[in-house]
């Protein structure tokens, strides 16, 4: 099996690029903030310095870890589904479902291990940069030494490998069941029960926290309380809405065809979304998180700047920098994941595009069908992302402005949504064009 794994990894370098980038960036993101927690652990530090470092590392690192968790699961699922035909052939020649799962899990674990190890050094640099920025802002002593020990590195690497292996096992379980049943490339209409429970829990808990944050902040004289309570709610709300997004995507696909007509690109796009909703929705999660975190965070800072001349606390620099770092790093990570996830999803459909060409669909019609589909997916993601951002905006706006919204938030939302559309649709167009031109048609013939 070892020789088979090595040969498979050599032949699938491009297919695993999305997984490599996801695990690498995830290690960098979580490693940089985990190092702040380790830096604040020694007993020689003052209580204030230790609390600042631990708070920043835990607050940002925990939500970054949640984002990495769902992104890795989505990326691994797409990567395993790309190998449906290969797994079918292994099943045909006598491999059992257990052997197939062990083979793919071991392969993914090796790739994740190497990617996580490669991300340790950039994560160490990120931690040093963050510590220097915190020290230059006067939040902690500038003489504090940055710590990134073997224990932290081991926990990060083992966590990434375990996460990738677990996600691969779940994806392989679905794929091998599909292979054994010899079913076609159609998703189930209903969401898995675990996904419904997880998404519902995140959305409902965020709604409760939003109400609590609003009530508590209005009655408090602390001008930073609303930001502290509601600043991260847009992340949880966006993840929950992204998990529950497939039915919304299917309904939009069903309702858009009568509006746009039954020309070939629209028909192919809506048909693909109706049959492959769960797979197409893999792109939704990073889009929803990107829009939700960016709109919520930028609007939060806009409200802060609007009322910054009223009663700020002494620790305002800490809170402001914390929010800028949260918004910037997580938004950049989510934006990169939008590109990589879209790329992996389009590559996953290489054979489908080949078949379309063979049955007479022109190159332009195939490209426009992918473009229309990516527009619909990114539109749903942007809509849900804006809805998720309200979990942060409402409590802060009511507490600080005595109004649930601010007019300037509309321009922020429009700019972020436009950027998300450019990332999603532009990447889909470029990847689909290269796939159709260079490989798909030649491979099918």
Kindly report the average pLDDT of the chain as a whole number.
Answer: 76
Average pLDDT over residues 436-440: 56
Same domain as 200, residue 95: no
Same domain as 337, residue 229: yes
Point out the domain boundary residue: 183, 211, 228: 183
The boundaries of the domain holding residue 395 are 190-445
φ, ψ at 362 (rounded to 5°): -70, 165
Note the pLDDT of residue 312.
46
Tell which phi-psi region holds residue 104, choosing left (phi > 0), alpha (psi between -120 and 50) or beta: alpha
Digit-coded pLDDT (tens) for 307-348? 655 444 445 555 566 667 767 777 787 788 788 778 777 776
Same domain as 328, residue 217: yes
Of 340, 335, 279, nearest in space to 15 by CA: 340
Measure the CA–CA gap between 236 and 250, rounded to whole angstroms.
Answer: 23
Same domain as 163, residue 53: yes
Note the pLDDT of residue 184.
45
Same domain as 147, residue 41: yes
DSSP 160-188: HHHHHHHHHHHHHHHHHHHHHHT--S---
Burial of 42 (0-12, 13-18, 19+ CB in 10 A): exposed
Residue 185 clears pLDDT 60, i.e. is over it? no
Same domain as 221, residue 179: no
Per-residue confidence at 253, pLDDT binned at 50, 70, 90? low
Point out the domain boundary residue: 183, 211, 235: 183
Name which residue leads in pLDDT, 12 or 287.
287
Note the pLDDT of residue 413.
86
Q: What single DSSP character describes residue 311? A: -
Angle between helices 97-136 and 316-347 (to 10 degrees): 150
pTM metric for this prediction: 0.75
Same domain as 203, residue 86: no
What sign does the CA torsion over 100, 102, 105, 111 have? negative
Q: Of the spans 70-74, 88-92, 300-304, 371-375, which averages the highest pLDDT?
A: 371-375
Average pLDDT over residues 111-128: 89
Digit-coded pLDDT (tens) for 65-117? 777 777 777 777 777 766 666 777 776 777 677 777 777 788 888 888 888 89
Least confident of 191-205, 218-232, 329-343: 218-232
Same domain as 194, residue 179: no
Measure the CA–CA gap between 230 and 165, rounded to whole angstroms.
Answer: 33
Residue 389 clears pLDDT 80, i.e. is over it? yes
Same domain as 336, residue 269: yes
Same domain as 106, residue 209: no
Average pLDDT over residues 279-304: 81
Average pLDDT over residues 345-361: 74
Domain count, the chain: 2
Per-residue confidence at 204, pLDDT binned at 50, 70, 90? very high
Point out the domain boundary residue: 183, 212, 238: 183
Note the pLDDT of residue 75.
73
Is-contact 144 192, C-beta < 8 A? no
Same domain as 110, residue 50: yes
Same domain as 213, residue 157: no
Note the pLDDT of residue 310.
46
């Amino acid at each position: 099996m070892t020789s088979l794994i090595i040969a498979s990894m050599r032949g699938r370098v491009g297919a695993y690029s999305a997984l490599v980038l996801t695990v690498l960036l995830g290690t960098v993101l979580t490693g940089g903030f985990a190092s702040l927690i380790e830096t604040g652990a020694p007993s020689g530090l003052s209580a204030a310095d230790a609390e600042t470092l631990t708070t920043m590392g835990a607050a940002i690192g925990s939500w970054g870890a949640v984002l990495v968790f769902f992104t890795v699961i989505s990326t691994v699922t797409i990567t395993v589904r790309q190998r449906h035909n290969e797994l079918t052939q292994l099943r045909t020649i006598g491999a059992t479902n257990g052997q197939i799962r062990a083979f793919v899990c071991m392969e993914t674990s090796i790739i994740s291990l190497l990617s996580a190890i490669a991300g340790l050094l950039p994560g160490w640099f990120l931690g040093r940069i963050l510590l220097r920025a915190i020290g230059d802002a006067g939040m902690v002593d500038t003489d504090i030494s940055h710590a990134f020990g073997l224990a932290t590195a081991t926990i990060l690497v083992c966590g990434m490998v375990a996460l990738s292996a677990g996600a691969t096992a779940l994806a392989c379980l679905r794929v091998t069941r599909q292979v054994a049943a010899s079913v076609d490339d159609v998703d189930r209409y209903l969401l898995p029960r675990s996904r419904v429970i997880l998404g519902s829990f995140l959305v409902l808990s965020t709604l409760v926290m939003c109400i609590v944050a609003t009530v508590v902040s209005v009655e408090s004289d602390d001008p930073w309380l609303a930001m502290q309570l509601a600043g991260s709610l847009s992340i949880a709300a966006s993840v929950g809405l992204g998990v529950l997004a497939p039915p919304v995507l299917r309904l939009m696909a069903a309702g858009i065809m009568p509006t746009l007509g039954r020309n070939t690109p629209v028909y192919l796009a809506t048909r693909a979304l109706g049959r492959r909703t769960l797979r197409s929705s893999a792109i939704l999660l990073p889009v929803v998180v990107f829009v939700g975190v960016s709109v919520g965070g930028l609007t939060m800072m806009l409200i802060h700047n609007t009322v910054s001349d009223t009663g700020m606390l002494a620790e305002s620099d800490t809170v402001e920098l914390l929010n800028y770092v949260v918004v910037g790093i997580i938004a950049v990570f989510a934006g990169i994941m939008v590109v990589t996830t879209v790329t992996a999803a389009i590559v996953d459909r290489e054979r489908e595009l080949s078949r379309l060409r063979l049955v007479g669909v022109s190159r332009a019609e195939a490209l426009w069908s992918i473009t229309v589909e990516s527009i619909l997916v990114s539109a749903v993601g942007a809509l849900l992302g804006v809805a998720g951002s309200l979990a942060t905006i409402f409590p802060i706006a009511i507490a600080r402005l005595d109004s649930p919204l601010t007019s300037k938030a509309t321009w922020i939302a429009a700019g972020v949504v436009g950027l998300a559309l450019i990332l999603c649709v532009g990447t889909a167009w470029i990847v689909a064009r290269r796939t159709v031109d260079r490989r798909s048609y030649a491979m099918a013939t």
